[in-house]
C-alpha cells in the first residue's frame, strides 16, 4: 500500500495503482529488480578502501559450537563486516558528523518514486589528478529530465561491467562533483543510489565535498545541526542490471536495522508502467 505523499490501491495481484501529486500511476510488482551486491563471507567479493573481506565463523560458547559440520546441533555464525566497504549499503549524514546519527532512525519505510538514469562519466582534470572520471552537474542535467515527481535517483555508470566483484583498490572509479550533488539536493532528491564505492573521490584529502553538498553541510563541517538535509540518504555499491531500463520506478529501500551511520541494504525496484499523465479530478 502507498503511504507517501499520496495513496495506492491494489488493482491486481501483480500491480498497484498510486495516486501521487495529482496524477495516477500503475506499477508492476511482479517485475522486481534487486540492485544489491550480496555480501559473500570468506570469499572474494567487491574490494574497496583496503578493507578486509567480510568474515564468518561458527559461534563457540562453552561446549556449544555453531556448526552442524563440526558436531553442533545447529548452525549459528558470527559475522564480521564493514558496511561501507563489503557490499551495498545505505548511509546517513552521521557518516561525516561528530554527533551520532543512525541510518536506522531515518531509513524510509514507504515506497519511493525513483528514476533510473544511465550516465557516462566525463574525463575532468582535478587538483589531485590530470584526468579523473567525473559525473558533473551538466551531465546530470542532460540525463535527468521529466522526473519532477521523483524523490530518488538511481544512477548507473557506463560501461556497466565488472561491478559485482570489482577491486576498487587497483584503480580510481568515477565520482561526483560537488556541484552535481548540490544540484540534486536543490531539486528535492532525498535518496541517491549509485553503483560506485563513494560519491566522492576515493582519495580526496578527507574533504568529502559531494557528501556534504548532498546533505546540505558547509565545507569542512562535522556538526550535525549544520546539515540542512539530515533526512537524506546515500546508497553506494549497488548494481543495476542491463535488463533494467532507464525510466520511472517505485523503490523499496530495505535497510538493515543497525544503530550505525551505515548498514547493509537491499534496494528493490518495481517499474512504473504508465507515465502518470492522467490528472485526478
Name the pTM for this structure. Answer: 0.92
DSSP 130: S
In a domain, 48, yes or no: no
Q: Does the residue 19 lie in any domain?
A: no
Number of domains present in the structure of the chain: 1
230 lies in which domain range? 31-39+83-271
CA nearest to 156, candidates 272, 35, 30, 49? 35
* Residue 277 domain-assigned (yes or no): no
Answer yes or no: is 138 within a domain. Answer: yes
- The answer to the question of residue 263 being in a domain is yes
Q: Is residue 163 part of a domain?
A: yes
- For residue 176, which of 168, 184, 186, 187 has the smallest C-alpha distance? 184
Picking from 137, 154, 175, 134, the residue whose alpha carbon sits closest to that of residue 48 is: 175
- Nearest-CA neighbor of 51 among 90, 82, 18, 7? 82
> Which CATH number goes with the domain that contains 184?
3.50.30.50
Residue 154 lies in a domain: yes
3: left (phi over 0), alpha (psi -120 to 50) or beta: alpha
Tens place of pLDDT for every residue, the chain, 281 residues?
444 444 444 444 588 988 887 788 999 999 999 999 999 898 778 989 999 999 999 999 999 999 999 999 999 999 999 999 999 999 999 999 999 999 999 999 999 999 999 999 999 887 777 689 999 999 999 998 878 889 999 999 999 999 999 999 988 899 999 999 999 999 999 999 999 999 999 999 999 999 999 999 999 999 999 999 999 999 999 999 999 999 999 999 999 999 999 999 999 999 998 755 555 44
Q: Enumerate residues 6+ apart whose C-beta is below 8 A from 180.
A: 135, 136, 137, 139, 140, 210
Is 57 within the bounds of a domain?
A: no
DSSP, res 158 = S
Amino acid at each position: 500500500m502507498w503511504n507517501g505523499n499520496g495513496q495506492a490501491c491494489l488493482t491486481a495481484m501483480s500491480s498497484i495503482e498510486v495516486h501521487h501529486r495529482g496524477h495516477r500511476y500503475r506499477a508492476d510488482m511482479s517485475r522486481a529488480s534487486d540492485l544489491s551486491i550480496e555480501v559473500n563471507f570468506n570469499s572474494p567479493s567487491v574490494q574497496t578502501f583496503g578493507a578486509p573481506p567480510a568474515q564468518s565463523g561458527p559461534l563457540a560458547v562453552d561446549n556449544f559450537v555453531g556448526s552442524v559440520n563440526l558436531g553442533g546441533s545447529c548452525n549459528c555464525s558470527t559475522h564480521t563486516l564493514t558496511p561501507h566497504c563489503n557490499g551495498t549499503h545505505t548511509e546517513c549524514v552521521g557518516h561525516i558528523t561528530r554527533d551520532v546519527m543512525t541510518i536506522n532512525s531515518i531509513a524510509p519505510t514507504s515506497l519511493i518514486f525513483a528514476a533510473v538514469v544511465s550516465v557516462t562519466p566525463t574525463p575532468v582534470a582535478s587538483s589531485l589528478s590530470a584526468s579523473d572520471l567525473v559525473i558533473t552537474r551538466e551531465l546530470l542535467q542532460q540525463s535527468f529530465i521529466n522526473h519532477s515527481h521523483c524523490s530518488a535517483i538511481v544512477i548507473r555508470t557506463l560501461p556497466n561491467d565488472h561491478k559485482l566483484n570489482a577491486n576498487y583498490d587497483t584503480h580510481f572509479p568515477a565520482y561526483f562533483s560537488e556541484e552535481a550533488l548540490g544540484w540534486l539536493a536543490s531539486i528535492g532528491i532525498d535518496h541517491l543510489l549509485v553503483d560506485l564505492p563513494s560519491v566522492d573521490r576515493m582519495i580526496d584529502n578527507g574533504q568529502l565535498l559531494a557528501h556534504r553538498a548532498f546533505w546540505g553541510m558547509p565545507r569542512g563541517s562535522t556538526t550535525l545541526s549544520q546539515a540542512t538535509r539530515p533526512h537524506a540518504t546515500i546508497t553506494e555499491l549497488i548494481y543495476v542490471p542491463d535488463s533494467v531500463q532507464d525510466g520511472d520506478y517505485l523503490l523499496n529501500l530495505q535497510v538493515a536495522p543497525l544503530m550505525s551511520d551505515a548498514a547493509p541494504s537491499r534496494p528493490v525496484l518495481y517499474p512504473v508502467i504508465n507515465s502518470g499523465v492522467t490528472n485526478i479530478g
